[in-house]
Amino acid sequence: MTAAVVGLVVLLGWAVRHTGTPARRPSQVPVIGRAGGALASWKRRIRRSTSRRSTSDPAPLLRFRTAIERGASVAQAFESVAAGSGRWAEGARRLVQRVGAGAGVQGAVDEWAAEDRDPALRLLADALAISGSTGGSHVRAVAAVIDAVRERAALQREARALASQAQTSAVVLVILPVAFALAVAALDSKVRAFYVGSPLGPACVIGGGILDVLGAWLMLRLVRAVS
């Protein structure tokens, strides 16, 4: 990231020193300002896309475990979750209604997990199925799910932190050629005339723009996959 920023500064400095005249140098300010604005805007976009929180929330799991620890059955523990106001409350209410209509508790939990697609809920459904079929402790099973959810959230935070520098470098690498091309075109009339007045100029601009957009798309996909 530092090398990319230094490269941008050096290239812009070279353009000012070798291609510009004192009367034209002020024109670089809006060019660099627009490039900086685009850099900040795209960086915010990447951060928004990579800082999405996991749908898993340990709060309803804690409520469920508390009810189990107090001697409630699995169905009663879900009634406790349904009585709350968390993101699982609505699904838990549907589960309670299904159980009240005669459905099996484990079947209702599996059906809810298939509908919601929450990783924590799927873990809970599997843990309850295993503990129920083996005669194990539901409390220990739920505690293991809570630990797994917390560990997953911690790993996601660490991945986002480690990817922060890569995100900034990717943005700089995408903006760098565009900023340099605009700066040189603004400072040198010959370059500007080549861009707009020769048959090869527009082809170079379009080709470079397509490659830059393609590179931006690929780097954005990589950052999202890692984060």
Mean pLDDT of 28-46: 48
State mean pLDDT over 122-145.
91
Average pLDDT score over residue span 128-136: 90
pLDDT at 67: 92
Q: Percent of the chain, pLDDT > 90?
A: 31
Instruction: For residue 135, give the 3-state DSSP assignment.
Output: coil
pLDDT band at 227 (very low <50, low <70, confident <90, very high): low
SS (H, E, C) the chain: CHHHHHHHHHHHHHHHHHHCCCCCHHHHHHHHHHHHHHHHHHHHHHHHHHCCCCCCCHHHHHHHHHHHHCCCCHHHHHHHHHCCCCCCHHHHHHHHHHHHCCCCHHHHHHHHHHHHCCHHHHHHHHHHHHHHHHCCCHHHHHHHHHHHHHHHHHHHHHHHHHHHHHHHHHHHHHHHHHHHHHHHHHHCHHHHHHHHHCCHHHHHHHHHHHHHHHHHHHHHHHHHHHC
What per-residue confidence (pLDDT) applies to 41? 56
pTM given for the model: 0.54
Which range among 49-53, 97-101, 212-216, 222-226 shows the weakest confidence by mean pLDDT? 49-53
Q: Where are the domains of the chain?
A: 2-53+156-226, 58-154
pLDDT value, residue 87: 83
Taking Cα atoms as reference points, which of 178, 175, 177, 167 lies closest to residue 221?
Answer: 167
> Which residues have CB under 8 Å from 101's CB, separation 6+?
none
**Section 52-58 average pLDDT:** 53
- DSSP single-letter state for residue 57: -
Taking phi over 0 as left and psi of -120 to 50 as alpha, with beta for the rest, 99 belongs to alpha
94 pLDDT band, cuts 50/70/90, is very high
Which pLDDT band holds residue 16 (cuts at 50, 70, 90)? very low
Q: What is the mean pLDDT of residues 15-31?
A: 42
Name the band, by pLDDT with cuts 50, 70 and 90, for residue 21: very low
In the predicted model, is pLDDT for residue 163 greater than 50? yes
Mean pLDDT of 193-205: 87
Mean pLDDT for the stretch of residues 64-90: 90
Round the CA-based radius of gyration of the chain to a whole number and report it.
Answer: 28
